[in-house]
Each structure stands twice: as C-alpha cells, then as structure tokens.
Amino acid sequence: MSETLHTVSVEVNGKPRSAQVPARLSLVDWLREDLWLTGTHIGCEHGICGACSVMLDGEPVRSCLMYAVQAHGHRITTVEGLAKPDGSLSVLQDSFCETHGLQCGYCTPGMLIASQALLNSNPNPTEEQIRDAIGGNLCRCTGYQQIVEAVQLAAERMRAR
Amino acid sequence: MKPAPFEYSRATSTVEACELLRRHGDEAKILAGGQSLVPMMAMRLVRPAWLIDINEISALKFVNIEKDAVRVGACTRQCTVERDQALAVRVPLLAQALAWVGHVQTRNRGTIGGSLAHADPCAELPLVAQVLGARMLLRSAKGTRLVEAEKFFSGPMATSARSDECLEEIQWPAWSWRHTGSAFTEISVRHGDFAMVAAAAQIAVDGDGRCVRAAFGMGGAGGTPLAFPKIAARLVGTRLDDEVVKDAAHAAAAETEPGSDLHASAEYRRHLAGVLAARVLREARERARSVR
C-alpha cells in the first residue's frame, strides 16, 4: 500500500533538513533512521521513559510522541547539537563524565537534553528543581544521584565563567 | 512505524479544522499535543483514518483574563498556562493542578483542551473543570455551543462533543471573593504517573472565616471526574471545622464508584477519596483564611 508523503522542512542542530515522509513516521524514527542522528535513543516509544527527549524550539519534548511531519517549520536540537562546534563536549556533558552520571548510558541523551533545557532557563537551580526537570526521564541503573550531581557541577562551572 | 496508516491534514484555521471534521468527522481525530493520542495510536488502541492537526492554529492559543472567568484557547500548551502568574491568581486551582500533570516534556507539548477532550477520569484537568464548573466552547461548521463540564464528561474517555465538533476554548470560572483558597493532591505510584485517586477543592470564606462558597471533587473514583455540589453547599455558613470537613469528605467518598485494577482495589480507592478530599478541603480552607 502506498502512503501519502508529506514535506517536512526543519532546522536540525542549526542545519536545514528536509524530506518527504509518511505522516505516521515519528520524529525520533526520522532523526535516527533517515538523518542518522542516533544519539537520541528510543526507549518505551509511548512517552514514559524520556530517552527520546529533544528540544523543539528550545523546549524539551518527547520525540516519540510527535510525528516528523509536525516538526515542519520548527527548530530541533538533539544531543548531537549540545557539543561545541569543534566537537568537544559541552560543560554539562563533561560534568556527566566526571560525576559518573552516565552509567549504562541509555538514558543519557534524554537526561542531557532535559537538564540543558533547565540550565538554559535557570542557571542556578535547586536540587528540587533539578529533580523536577529530570522527573520525566527514567534511569534504569537508578543512579539518579550522580546525574543530579552532574547538573549541579555544570551549573556551578557555567556560573563561574 | 507503529501506528496504522492515516491521512494527515495540518489545519491553518479553526474554520478549516471544522470543515475537515464535517467531511471526515466519523473517522477523524483531532491531533493537539498528542501526549495521549499518539501512544494510543502506537498501541493501535485507536486507528483514526484521518488526523486533523490543530497545532499550527495560533487562534487556538490564548489566555484571556476577564472579570468572571479566564478563557483559555483549546490548543494552549499546559506549560504556558502553568507559567501564567495572572491566571494563577484568578484560577488558583488550575495552576496547582498543572504541577501534577505529567512532566516538563509532556507539559511543553500537551494542551489544555487536549486533556479535557481526552477525558481520562483519572486526569487532573478534567477534575478541575468538573469542580469549578468550567464551560467548553465547541465549534462545528454549523456554529458554536457552550457545554458545562458536568454535561461534557459523559464517561471514561468519552465526552458529549459530536464527531464534527472541535473544542475551541475553555472558560474557567474565576471566583471574586477576596478570601479564596484552593488545593490539589493525588496519590500515584510515582509523581507524574496516572493518579490512583486525585482530589481538588476551592473554598471562599468571609472576613470571619465563615464559608461562603465551597467546591470539591475527586478523580479516579468513577467513570468521570466527580464533583459534589450538594455536599459542598452544606459547608456554606459553617466555620469548616475539621469534623465538618471530614463528614463532607466521607459523605462524598461514599458516593464514589471506583474500579479495581492492578494498582489499587476499589475499596482502597474509596478510602483514598475520603482521606484526600478532607485533606484538600482543609488546605484550601487554610489558604483562604490566610489571604490578607
């Protein structure tokens, strides 16, 4: 059966990307399978785990709960877009390494997107605010403490600049 | 790709959305924030032949604060309303409830109207609408009509909106009493999960601490969110002493008809309904009294 294709033109990590996609293609599948941006992870595929978090116009959203066609005309930032232009890690990413915030690494892209979005709007978050910001992201290693420490460390370093 | 194939149309105006609904209504679904519909489609619990996307209709995104009510466009994001300080003053219960709705990522995308139209009996916003007596403005190609929350929620995940109607705006009553307080709470496995039972209350008192208006209700305790206007009316004129509040909460809990599932038995849910209703009534009372 042939499905109707729709145009999607999006800015992904600062670069214009466009494609013809079936309406039922999720944003995360398009990012991973067509654009090869495999940093964004797929976990539950129904909006529970947060692994697929990306920024839509600067705000974190779940990319498994959006169809790619819906991103048309918007701006997407994936975990690949967090690193510095020369490819070196961001302050937040460095902090995750230092505090052992990665563990198995599966939830990390979603955690990075959620906590970077928090730091963008709140450079000095309390522990409670950090826990609230990553509340929609599951870590099955259950090492939330190091993740919270990573965000605290990054906030401290970013303020010191 | 997990959902079944569907035709997709991005409506650019409410008129266009209504026209699409007129043509395809019986086999169409409105796509707002998609935080409930998209997973249901992924699990193939629903298989609409058409999706009418209203996310790009800017006329459906607004918060208008008026004298007796706050009007909110159906496609206004939950995060927008959550951050609106002026709205929080006029309809405090709505602002409090939003903190319990999902997580940051889902509130950034989820809409006020989407949650109401989805009509999950455990969900926070339908409960607030029921307790405050919000009114839904429904539009079809034929015109508009206003439906009270009580008539809007017709069953679990069911509303009285016709298949050719689109929820356009929600009118949230704003109480004018100076000493008004409200409270919202719920019990769930983890914060942000579906509530086993949720409770909401709004209280107004006079300068002497005597109740002049009360409204309260519970979610997750029946097929629709429940409000208890008759029991609440009995609180008017009292000083809302703990015993009075407890009696009202227990009378309401006795009227609930919760179901049993993996997470909680009906008996436990009814117990929670009474405990949580008393708790929100007391909290709302304290907040109302503390207004200077």
pLDDT digits (tens, 9 = 90+) for A30-62: 999 999 999 999 999 999 999 999 999 999 999
Structure ipTM: 0.94
- Kindly determine whether residue B1 and residue A29, on different chains, have CB atoms separated by under 8 Å: yes
For the CA atoms of B252, B254, B259, B262, what is the dihedral angle to 10 degrees? 100
- Kindly determine whether residue A136 and residue B105, on different chains, have CB atoms separated by under 8 Å: yes
- Quote the CA–CA distance of B201 and B185 in Å, as a whole number: 9
Domain boundaries A5-81, CATH class: alpha beta
Q: Do the first three CATH levels of B58-173 and B179-290 match, i.e. the same topology?
A: no
Domain B7-53, what architecture?
A: 2-Layer Sandwich (3.30)
Q: Give the per-residue pLDDT at B174.
A: 97
Any chain B CB within 8 A of the CB of A131?
no
Per-residue pLDDT of chain B (292 residues; tens, 9 = 90+): 899 999 999 999 999 999 999 999 889 999 999 999 999 999 999 999 999 999 999 999 999 999 999 999 999 999 999 999 999 999 999 999 999 999 999 999 999 999 999 999 999 999 999 999 999 999 999 999 999 999 999 999 999 999 999 999 999 999 999 999 999 999 998 887 889 999 999 999 999 999 999 999 999 999 999 999 999 999 999 999 999 999 999 999 999 999 999 889 999 999 999 999 999 999 999 999 999 8
Q: How far is CA A98 from the centre of its chain?
A: 20
- Quote the CA–CA distance of A20 and A3 in Å, as a whole number: 11
- Quote the crossing angle between the two packed helices A144-160 and A91-98, to the nearest 10°: 140
The token pair at B29 is 């679904």
Task: Check pLDDT > 70 for residue A1.
Answer: no
**Domain B58-173 falls in which CATH fold?**
3.30.465
Q: Give the per-residue pLDDT at A23.
A: 97
Which is the CATH superfamily of the domain at A91-160? [2Fe-2S]-binding domain (1.10.150.120)
CATH code for residues B179-290? 3.30.390.50
pLDDT digits (tens, 9 = 90+) for A82-137: 999 898 999 999 999 999 999 999 999 999 999 999 999 999 999 999 999 999 99
- Quote the CA–CA distance of B146 and B161 in Å, as a whole number: 10
- Residue with structure tokens 């990573």? A150
* Cα of B200 to nearest chain A Cα, Å: 22
Domain boundary assignment for chain B: 7-53, 58-173, 179-290
Q: Give yes or no for a contact between B286 and B222, defined as CB atoms under 8 angstroms apart.
A: no
Domain boundary assignment for chain A: 5-81, 91-160
- Kindly determine whether residue A135 and residue B39, on different chains, have CB atoms separated by under 8 Å: no
- Quote the CA–CA distance of A97 and A14 in Å, as a whole number: 25
pLDDT digits (tens, 9 = 90+) for A2-25: 899 999 999 999 999 999 999 999
How many beta carbons lie within 10 A of that of residue B244, not counting itself? 16
* Cα of B108 to nearest chain A Cα, Å: 6
pTM: 0.96
Indicate which of B41, B53, B77, B105 best probes the interface with A, i.e. most A CBs within 10 Å of its own CB: B105
**Mean of all residue pLDDT scores within chain A:** 96
Nearest to A47 among B8, B35, B191 (CB): B35
Half-sphere exposure of B35 (CA within 13 A, CB side): 31
Q: Give the per-residue pLDDT at B194.
A: 86
Which residue blocks in chain B are alpha helix, DSSP H?
A: 14-24, 37-42, 78-82, 85-90, 92-98, 104-109, 112-118, 124-132, 149-152, 229-233, 242-255, 266-290
- Kindly determine whether residue B8 and residue A61, on different chains, have CB atoms separated by under 8 Å: no
Q: Give yes or no for a contact between B132 and B202, defined as CB atoms under 8 angstroms apart.
A: yes
Search chain B and give the residue with CA nearest A58. Answer: B108
